[in-house]
Amino acid sequence: MVSRAACLLGLGALAGCAMMSEAPTQVTPNPPETYSLFGAPLYSTPAGSETRDSLEIRLARAQAAFDRDPDDAEAIVWLGRRTAYLGRFRAAIAIYSEGIASFPADARLYRHRGHRYITLRRFQSAIVDLDRAARLIEGKPDEVEPDGVPNARNTPTSTLHSNVWYHLGLAYFLTGDFESARRAYERCLGVSKTPDQRCATTYWLWQTLVRLDLKDEADRVLQPIDPRLDVIENQDYLALLGVYRGEIDADTLLASALRRGGTALATVGYGVAGWRLARHERPEAMALMRQVIAGDAWPAFGHVAAEAELYRLGERP
H or E segment and range at residue 41: strand 41-42
Nearest to 9 by CA among 73, 51, 70, 72: 70
**Beta-bridge partner residues of 35:** 41
H or E segment and range at residue 14: helix 2-20
> What single-letter DSSP state applies at residue 144?
B
Cβ neighbors of 275 (< 8 A, separation 6 or more) are: 240, 243, 244, 250
Q: How far is CA 5 from CA 39, 92, 94, 315, in A?
A: 29, 9, 8, 40
Tens of pLDDT along the chain (317 residues) come to 434 444 444 433 323 333 333 344 444 568 999 999 999 999 998 777 668 899 999 999 999 999 999 999 999 999 999 999 999 999 999 999 999 999 999 999 999 999 999 999 999 999 999 999 999 999 999 999 998 888 888 899 999 999 999 999 999 999 999 999 999 999 999 999 999 999 999 999 999 999 999 999 999 999 999 999 999 999 999 999 999 999 999 999 999 999 999 999 999 999 999 999 999 999 999 999 999 999 999 999 999 999 999 999 999 88
Q: How crowded is the C-beta side of 304, counted as CA atoms within 13 Å?
A: 22
The angle formed by the CA atoms of residues 237, 200 and 276, to the nearest 5 degrees, is 50
The angle formed by the CA atoms of residues 313, 201 and 279, to the nearest 5 degrees, is 45
**Beta-bridge partner residues of 159:** 144
Q: How far apart are CA 82 and CA 5, in angstroms?
A: 13
Cα-flanking dihedrals φ and ψ of residue 230, to 5°? -85, 80
Q: What is the pLDDT of residue 154?
A: 86
Instruction: For residue 232, give the amino acid letter.
Output: I
Chain centroid, CA 252 distance in Å: 25
Instruction: Return the number of other C-beta atoms located less than 10 Å from residue 70's C-beta.
Output: 19
Instruction: For residue 36, give the amino acid letter.
Output: S
H or E segment and range at residue 93: helix 89-102
H or E segment and range at residue 35: strand 34-35
Q: What is the pLDDT of residue 14?
A: 29
Q: Coil, helix or strand for 42?
A: strand
Instruction: Return the number of other C-beta atoms located less than 10 Å from residue 53's C-beta.
Output: 11
